[in-house]
Amino acid sequence: MPFYDELYKFQDKLQHVLTRHEQGATHAAQGYARVSGKVGVCVATSGPGATNLVTGIADAMIDSTPMVCLTGQVPSHLLGSDAFQETDIIGISTPVTKWNYQITDVAEIPEVMAKAFYIARSGRPGPVLVDITKDAQFASFDFDYTPCAGVRSYKPIPEINTTTIEDAAAIIEKAEKPLIVWGQGVILGKAEAEFKAFVEQSNIPAAWTILGVSAIATDHPLNVGMVGMHGNYGPNMLTNECDVLIAIGMRFDDRVTGNLESYAKQAKIIHLEIDPAEINKNVDADVAVLGDVKQTLPLLTEKVTAKPYANWFAAFKKHDKIEFDKVIKNDLHPTKEGLTMGEVLKEINRASNNDAVIVSDVGQHQMIACRYARFSNSKSNVTSGGLGTMGFALPAALGAKMGAPEREVVAIIGDGGFQMTIQELGTIFQTQAAVKVVVLNNDFLGMVRQWQQLFFDKRYASTEMVNPDFVKIAEGYFLDAKRVTTRDDLGSAIDEMIASDKPYFLEVCVEKEANVFPMIPSGASVSEIRLS
Amino acid sequence: MDKKYTISIYTENSVGLLNRVSAIFQRRHINIESITSSASEIEKVSRFIIVVSLSEEAVKKVVGQIEKQIEVIKAFYHTDEETIFLESALYKVASKSLFEERHIQNIIKNSHANIVTVNTEFFVIEKTGFRHETEQLYNDLAPYGLLQFVRSGRISVTKSPMNIKALLNRLND
């Protein structure tokens, strides 16, 4: 209350967005951070308000999103007394925060706030939580603010060891079948230009993780697509054929590597990384280049020379052709009656000139969005990667629109995830943030259903959804809304949605039992990727 | 192959850090065999000594995660051969045993234990040493009835220098 009472006086300077649920606030802050590169901020009251933040904090932690969460707390003399709306949010949030702190003395506020933002945004970014007791909020003191210049026990960026650069360059020099796999580190490090220069100077095919994707344009000739469980056929198969794998700002997540026992065993691994704890965590590096990729990449670029790698590129082309014939053709140019998620993405690409911010939730539609969305600019793919938080996209899209108001922001959400944070339609209505919300409705928790079909003999245990009328719900929030059920109506509906300068809701009823391929089954090797 | 490792952590002295450090073990389902937190040779810098049985690969990863915590200055892991380590134990015995059982006096003498306090009700023996020594004394005294027994976590110093002061001087600059 005291905090909000002060905010009231700063309404012209500080925009406050009242989400309908605290989880929505965290994802909105994440969406804001991911498109703007700035720290997202969310505020919650003590007790249940604070605990409702936990999912979003955990999501921001695993996806390295800079975020500062402020929580209210009972007065310091009541700490530990089971007071009304008291919860040990410091204890609860410890494993999912980069740092957290409880302020009990008003005089600590400036220094702790400066430190909180410094820690959230520096090095490998992450969420920070500051819990402020009510007495500290009510007290007054002589305000004096000094930005945080550093924390002595915290080294955000490791020193560069130039020997590692030389060692990496020597390995690349000898490579005949090198492969780059890049991740979000390129974007978090604001190193898109340095990365592009390295890729072009070395002429090495480059594949992306879903959080790294938009660092260079989708149509860049050296961009060979997505790695991982539902990634492209070529980069997955050829991970187990490359002789050098250059990992840049990525952490070898299990959804990327499949079975580690048979992941790129034949390759020399070069790992460019800011976080020393990621080195040799999942995949042993032959050369670990520690540092900020914005600094290390140019040093490496200087030392590499382009080679044609003609046969190697031909191998990618060959695999692309196979994937196109077996998967992509049916996804993007279906001949059967039912709408595919892929064709919806294709229409969105067309209508937005391949330049929308795509905010996806978690599940089949997410994989389809990551596979088929086309990007021209960085910070354009916002999705819950590590935690896989259903319900992420609707509030994240709202935050993304506020972080990048000049850009087209399209949320792609499944019917399951949509209903986990559906209440944020209210926030979208109240703010009139011109978010375009597309629900791909297959009346199932589709990804789980797909696994049940493939691995559990079609026993669809609790995955079928009996859904409400989503259009009516959107209209209940006074949003422009439409439902599409046929191919003939799809293109024009998407045109209408993109043309709108207001928030817009579009439900697309898609094929109920369609599957996402390619797929690396759980526990299988990347080269055991299935096309059907 | 699991082996006993002593993890030494130098940290800023702040509320909640013990929780943050122990959560790293808990999350990985690693049992902490002992944990001790105390002042270190440097003012306002704490030192944790944590003993675990792990593979070297696992202990290396855990130490990496510990070092990542904002308020951790530096973390190390060492084998038993690389450290000087001890534990302390206290044994509380009824005083009547001391006077009635002559043998108990020999046990105390032979074990190089110290008598901390004696009164009419009970006496307290302190023994500092290796685990097998405090266990031996436990086994020797058990037949006479131990009223209370407690053993501290391991404390240890390393044979090689850890250069924390120099590191802090660099960080302070």
Chain B CB contacts of A94 below 8 Å: 16, 19-20, 23
- Which residue numbers of B have CB closer than 8 Å to A's CBs? 11-12, 15-16, 19-20, 23, 27, 60-61, 64-65, 67-68, 70-73, 168, 171-172
pLDDT reported for residue A83 = 96
Minimal CA separation from B148 to chain A, in Å: 31
Residue type, B148: Q
- pLDDT category of residue A166 using cuts at 50, 70 and 90: very high
- CB nearest to A95's CB, from B23, B171, B172: B23
C-alpha span between A352 and A495 (Å, rounded): 9
Report domain B3-83+156-172's class: alpha beta
Minimal CA separation from B50 to chain A, in Å: 19
Using alpha carbons, list the distances in angstroms from residue A423 to A41, A429, A439: 20, 10, 14
pLDDT tens, position by position, B54-88:
999 999 999 999 999 999 999 999 999 999 999 99
Q: For chain B, give every domain's residue range.
A: 3-83+156-172, 85-151
Domains B3-83+156-172 and B85-151 equal at CATH topology level = yes
pLDDT reported for residue B102 = 78
Report residue A91: phi and psi, to 5°: -65, -45
Q: DSSP code of A39?
A: P
Nearest CA in chain A to B26: A95
Q: How far is CA B58 from the centre of its chain?
A: 21
Minimal CA separation from A154 to chain B, in Å: 5
- pLDDT category of residue B99 using cuts at 50, 70 and 90: confident
Nearest CA in chain A to B20: A94
* CB neighbour burial string for A380-398, b if at least 16 within 10 angstroms, e if fewer: bbbbbbbbbbbbbbbbbbb
For residue B103, pLDDT beyond 80: yes
Determine whether the interchain pair B72/A152 forms a contact, defined as Cβ–Cβ distance below 8 Å: no
Chain B CB contacts of A275 below 8 Å: 68
Residue A432: active-site member: no
pLDDT tens, position by position, A35-65:
999 999 999 999 999 999 999 999 999 999 9
For residue B172, pLDDT beyond 90: no
Residue A166: active-site member: no
Which strands make up the sheet holding A287-290, listed edge to edge? A223-226, A206-208, A178-182, A244-248, A268-273, A287-290
Ordered domains of chain A (ranges, CATH): 2-138 (3.40.50.970), 162-316 (3.40.50.1220), 337-509 (3.40.50.970)
| B99 or A327, higher pLDDT | A327
For residue A30, pLDDT beyond 80: yes
pLDDT tens, position by position, A172-222:
999 999 999 999 999 999 999 999 999 999 999 999 999 999 999 999 999
The secondary element (H helix, E strand) that includes residue A44 is strand A40-44
Q: For residues A29 and A59, is the Cβ–Cβ distance under 8 A?
A: no
C-alpha span between B88 and B66 (Å, rounded): 27
Q: Tell me, which fold does domain B85-151 have in CATH? A: Alpha-Beta Plaits (3.30.70)
Which pTM was predicted? 0.96
| Interstrand relation of A67-73 and A127-133 (parallel, antiparallel or unpaired) | parallel
Catalytic residue among A9, A11, A15, A84, which?
A84
Determine whether the interchain pair B19/A91 forms a contact, defined as Cβ–Cβ distance below 8 Å: yes
A73 touches chain B (CB under 8 A): no
- CB nearest to A153's CB, from B23, B64, B70: B70
Q: What is the 3-state secondary structure (H, E, C) of A314-331?
A: HHHHHHHHHHHHHHHHHH
Q: For residues B87 and B25, is the Cβ–Cβ distance under 8 A?
A: no
Q: DSSP code of A431?
A: H
C-alpha span between A121 and A119 (Å, rounded): 6
Residue type, A62: I
